[in-house]
Amino acid sequence: MGVDLIAAIGHKLSKADLVKLPVFIDQQTSARAAKFLHGDPYYSQLKESKWKGELEMTETVLEQIWEDWRLDTLLSNKRILDNQIDCFIGSIDVWRNTLVICHFPEHKYANLQYPDKARVIFESNRCIARALGEDKILYFPDSAFPTSILYDKAHKGLTIEELIEIGIQEFGQPPKTLSEGAQFMFFIDQFQDLNGELSEWNFSEQKYWKYNGQKGLYEKNSDT
């Protein structure tokens, strides 16, 4: 499965604080511990967090990137990752109202099929969310499924609440349990106890979606 898993966490940080976000990320020792408790210890040796773009990150640069995405005025693909932080967790894209996380090496959505890998993702993301004073995390794919529109909307600067509202309007209320929500391809983690929430499931047995070969895309299964 080539679809990546995206986690969106809200924030109320100023642009000045966001510019210094790599330092904040490196200070999240609980997130690092959760990430590597069951994961590959090699990745804990990554160098300190840093902005991926070539330009020195400033408030002005960050604002310009946001506006270019909002207005669809990106001049070239060269700047497409300039608001991305490379760090121990993987990558974090910094938007006006959200931080968008993609883990590495657990970046594929299919990792949620396996409780041990899902736990690493959920627990480490929760540590970052708590450090930001947030109480929920929104999950969705980056491509292939219709729910990936939430990924594009996050680029436009929408809040977590706005993204959730759009998701529910477009696709319906997601399941409450995490493993069921993962199969829905759009779900909200509200920090429920993970024991009993995580179960193994099969990506090839799509419960909520069916593939339309003629259109070359997934569509909502009307039976669910």
48, exposed or middle or buried, with CB in 10 Å at 0-12, 13-18, 19+? Answer: exposed
Tokens read off for 111: 């990792």
pLDDT at 44: 54
So what's the pLDDT on residue 182? 97
What confidence score (pLDDT) does residue 53 get?
Answer: 83
Mean pLDDT by groups of 10 residues along the chain of 224 residues: 91 97 94 76 67 90 89 62 89 96 94 95 97 97 95 94 97 95 97 92 89 86 76
Contact 185, 145 (CB under 8 A): yes
Where in the sequence is the domain holding 167, given as residue range(s)? Answer: 5-220
Q: Residue 201 contacts by C-beta under 8 Å, 6 or more apart in sequence?
A: 113, 179, 182, 183
What is d(CA 151, CA 155) in angstroms, rounded to the nearest whole number? 7
- Given a contact cutoff of 8 angstroms between Cβ atoms, the answer to whether 108 and 1 are in contact is yes
Distance CA 143, CA 152 (A): 10
In angstroms, rounded to a whole number, what is the distance separating the alpha carbons of residues 195 and 129?
20
What is the per-residue pLDDT for 71? 83
Looking at residue 120, its pLDDT comes to 93
Q: How many domains does the chain have?
A: 1
Residue located via tokens 């207005």: 71
pLDDT at residue 55, as a whole number: 82
